[in-house]
């Protein structure tokens, strides 16, 4: 067992249930294709990381999927809002004996293995935040259990990052490069691998 744990939040790729904001601008089929690409990307950049890895599904564990490759332990997210889900997962990790935990989602096509490795270096000494362009964050790294960063947030809004930094105002925080979550059509760069899914949408 490593002292370091990567937690990945994901959901099963089901038509009509993923990337719903993107689907409203395109179609359920386009949204599913984009989400599948994001899952493949997230798997590729994490499967060879030399840390323990837990992948948390929203409601039901999928068997015989891409997370079978790379020694991922599969779990189900707790009930509640996103903060409660993340807090439960992180507390489970610390309870299992991990000393440094990094949590990510599966919505960032520009996230790289190197960025995650950098986060694990920083989290040995300090809290780590990967800010997202939409006012949230794509990565959080902690080296101790805490509740403040998971409570009193309006999840899914552009105030999450600001309010999280307020929680960390008296601390030395490692801030990673700002990256972009894929939620809307405008979030997809025209030169990205995802663009071919949307360029011909009706």
Mean pLDDT of 26-54: 91
- CA 135 from centre of chain: 14
Domain 4-187 bears CATH identifier 3.40.50.300: no
% of the chain with per-residue pLDDT over 70: 93
Domain ranges of the chain: 4-187
Strongest mean pLDDT among 24-28, 31-35, 105-109, 113-117: 113-117
CA dist 130 and 188 (Å) reads 19
Q: How far apart are CA 63 and CA 70, in angstroms?
A: 14
Q: Given this model, what pLDDT does residue 8 score?
A: 98
pLDDT of 193 strictly over 80? no
Q: For the stretch 177-189, what's the b/e string if a residue is b when 16 or more beta carbons lie within 10 angstroms of its beta carbon?
A: eebbbbbeeebbe
pTM: 0.92
The per-residue pLDDT of the chain, averaged, comes to 90
Q: Could you give the CA distance from residue 6 to residue 188 in angstroms, rounded to a whole number?
A: 26
d(CA 10, CA 7): 10
């Amino acid at each position: 067992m490593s002292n370091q744990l990567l937690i990945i939040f994901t959901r099963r790729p089901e038509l009509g249930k993923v990337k719903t904001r993107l689907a409203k601008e395109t179609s359920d089929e386009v949204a599913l294709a984009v989400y599948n690409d994001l899952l493949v990307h997230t798997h590729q950049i994490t499967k060879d990381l030399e840390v323990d890895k837990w992948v948390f599904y929203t409601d039901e564990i999928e068997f015989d999927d891409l997370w079978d490759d790379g020694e991922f332990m599969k779990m189900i997210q707790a009930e509640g809002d996103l903060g409660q889900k993340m807090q439960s997962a992180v507390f489970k990790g610390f309870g299992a004996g991990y000393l440094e935990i990094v949590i990510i989602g599966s919505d960032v096509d520009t996230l790289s293995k190197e960025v995650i490795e950098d986060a694990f270096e920083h989290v040995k000494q300090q809290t780590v935040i990967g800010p997202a362009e939409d006012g949230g964050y794509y990565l959080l790294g902690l080296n101790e259990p805490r509740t403040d960063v998971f409570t009193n947030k309006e999840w899914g809004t552009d105030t999450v990052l600001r309010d999280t930094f307020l929680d960390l105002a008296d601390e030395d925080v490692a801030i990673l490069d700002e990256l972009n979550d894929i939620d809307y059509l405008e979030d997809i760069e025209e030169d990205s691998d995802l663009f071919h899914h949307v360029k011909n949408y009706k």
